[in-house]
Amino acid sequence: MDIFTHALLPVILVGAIAKRPDLRGRWQLVSIGIAGALPDILCPHLSLEARMASWSHGISCWFMLTIVMLMISYFSRRRIAAGFASLLSGAYFLHMMCDAISGGVNFFHPFGNGSWGDYWVDPIWWIPLDIACFLTVYFMFRVAPRMRALKQSGQTSLQGGLLESATDSNATGWDSNER
């Protein structure tokens, strides 16, 4: 898969599953996207052979980065929560799994041959997947919140209108009683 899908897929998953607002902030989502794309940023490549030989797509690299992220979380006195560091680690691992189903990955690199995977997701689908991910992210974080806000403001104004008309009718009732 392309780097755009790798970056956006974990963002979509977090957007769909995580309800805590501290995980859905702009910088949190950007960090998750970068973590998802990181194996290709650390070791850019074009061919499958180059991917199989890249150190950034191995379990050892993922494991070491996870330890580093958890240590940063610990020494930053949890300003970066351990749960969030684990999410970044998960985004990185998701990249490896996505590469495994779209060609393959050598999980044991550089310590041995742990090649696994195949072109179950044909390269012909990679660009449509990028587009689908872009559209999903746009809908999820732009269109849907605006629709919710519009719906809420509509409900509020409707409630306000109902309240106002109720107050008006009460006032009229009071007036007519007075007369």
Interface with Zn ion (CB under 5 A), residue total 3
Residue 105: its H or E element: strand 105-106
Give 66's contacts (C-beta < 8 A, 6+ positions apart).
85, 86, 89, 92
What is the nearest approach in angstroms of Zn ion to the Cβ of residue 108? Answer: 16
User: Of the listed pieces 79-87, 93-101, 107-115, 153-161, which binds Zn ion according to CB under 5 A?
Assistant: 93-101
DSSP 6-72: HHHHHHHHHHHH---GGGSSHHHHHHHHHHHHHHHHHS--SSHHHHHT-GGGSHHHHHHHHHHHHHH
Question: Which of 99, 103, 104, 130 is the binder for Zn ion (CB under 5 A)?
Answer: 99
Query: From the CB of residue 80, how many other CB atoms can be counted at a distance below 10 Å?
Result: 18
What is the nearest approach in angstroms of Zn ion to the Cβ of residue 138? Answer: 24
Do residues 60 and 111 make contact, with C-beta atoms less than 8 angstroms apart? yes
Closest to Zn ion by CB, 51 or 73: 51
Question: Does residue 103 belong to the site contacting Zn ion (CB under 5 A)?
Answer: no
Closest to Zn ion by CB, 39 or 104: 39
Q: Which of residues 9-48 bind Zn ion (CB under 5 A)?
A: 39-40
What is the nearest approach in angstroms of Zn ion to the Cβ of residue 48? Answer: 10
Give the three-class secondary structure for 122: coil
User: Of the listed pieces 79-87, 95-103, 123-131, 151-159, which binds Zn ion according to CB under 5 A?
Assistant: 95-103
Residue numbers of the site for Zn ion (CB under 5 A)? 39-40, 99
